[in-house]
Amino acid sequence: MKIIPYRKRSVLIATIFAISAVGITGCSDNTETKAVERVEEAAALARVKDLEARAEALKSNMPAANDMTATAGGTDTASGKPTIKMPDESTIPDDEFGAAVRRGLQISNHTYKELPNNVGNQLNCTSCHLGNGSEAYAAPWNNTPSVYPNYSKRTGRINTIQERINGCFERSLNGKALDLNSDDMNAMVSYMSWLSQDMPFGVSPEGSGFVKVDKTLEPNTDNGKKLFAEKCSVCHGATGEGQYNDDGTYVYPAIAGDKSFNDGAGMARTYTAASFIKGKMPFGQGGSLSDQEAVDIASYFTHLPRPIKANKDKDWPNGDAPKDVRR
């Protein structure tokens, strides 16, 4: 049996009553009465048409039940997802949690200075997670804690957010894992949680991860080398060594060599790096490169000399490794 939605039922009932009234007035033999009733009939029909027009307007403005473009819970994007936005730092509470949030922010922006025993290169978390870890399409952390634990194909098991953070320490930072229960680990999770305030639980915001590139494109490393010299070397150096201040802090981070991420990092994969390049590079000119140009540059610089990740042969234990994984 077909169920008629509530709004349509209301319009249908009104229509039936109006038509019933028309039918009743048509039964009178009194000429004067008929004239009055014809006026009433016209008014009733006009009301029916008005109701039908309103119903149509409601129907056209009402999203379908499975339409994810509908906004709810404070979302305001075409996808129906929450947007990436760094909360105002004035909202950090003046208590123990707030102190942990501030420590997490400090670690994120000055990782190798703050945690020299855990970082084996001269990069920070925000070398890749731009804008304090809160920039759209630069792998932002907004709402990340609420989507963990989740399954990781690379490890072949369920990972917690703490384990995912340690994956970056061991790969992108070419270092050692933090103690899962340490104050510094808790500070990083606290900061990510603060970034996630007012977001719906378990929903990845619009702008999570990186922009998409065509992974069917075959890289042209020779063209990538040429483009790297033209568009990347002015900041990152001729061999990707980066530019550093006398105190060891970088002006532009190393993307190759001993100061950079190892070959087990996600950024050492051609198409992952190409996605980051496409959306954010050259710095301040994101979106200016084609997919092919981004893939070519990524193929060139990701294969420049860099640290080797120990035990990366244990990654992707179920044999589902992407084609650009380093072996």
Query: With 90 as the cut, is the pLDDT of residue 71 above it?
Result: no
Rounded percentage of the chain residues whose pLDDT exceeds 90: 73
Give the mean model confidence (pLDDT) for residues 127-144.
97
> Which pLDDT score, from 0 to 100, does residue 75 have?
54
* Residue 128 annotated as binding site: yes
Domain boundaries along the sequence of the chain: 6-61, 81-207, 210-327
CATH number of 81-207: 1.10.760.10
Residues paired with residue 158 on neighbouring β-strands, in sequence order: 151
Give the mean model confidence (pLDDT) for residues 305-325.
96
Could you tell me which of 318, 305, 214 has the C-alpha nearest to residue 326? Answer: 305
* Run of H or E residues at 150: strand 150-152
Q: How far apart are CA 141 and CA 133, in angstroms?
A: 6
pLDDT in tens, 74-106: 354 466 778 899 999 999 999 999 999 999 999
* Residue 110 annotated as binding site: no
* Residue 27 annotated as binding site: no
Cα 237 from chain centre:
30
Give the mean model confidence (pLDDT) for residues 32-49.
52
Could you tell me which of 199, 187, 202 has the C-alpha nearest to residue 85? Answer: 199
pLDDT in tens, 261-290: 999 999 999 999 999 999 999 999 999 999
Same fold yes or no, 81-207 and 210-327 = yes
> Which pLDDT score, from 0 to 100, does residue 191 have?
98
Assign 41 a pLDDT band (cuts: 50, 70, 90). low
Residue 240 corresponds to which tokens in the numbers above?
């990707």
Could you tell me which of 200, 212, 188 has the C-alpha nearest to residue 83? Answer: 200
Residue 272 corresponds to which tokens in the numbers above?
């992952």
pTM of the model: 0.75
Q: How far apart are CA 131 and CA 148, in angstroms?
A: 22
pLDDT in tens, 289-302: 999 999 999 999 99
Domain 210-327: state its class: mainly alpha
* Residue 125 annotated as binding site: yes
> Which pLDDT score, from 0 to 100, does residue 185 have?
98
> Which pLDDT score, from 0 to 100, does residue 49 have?
60
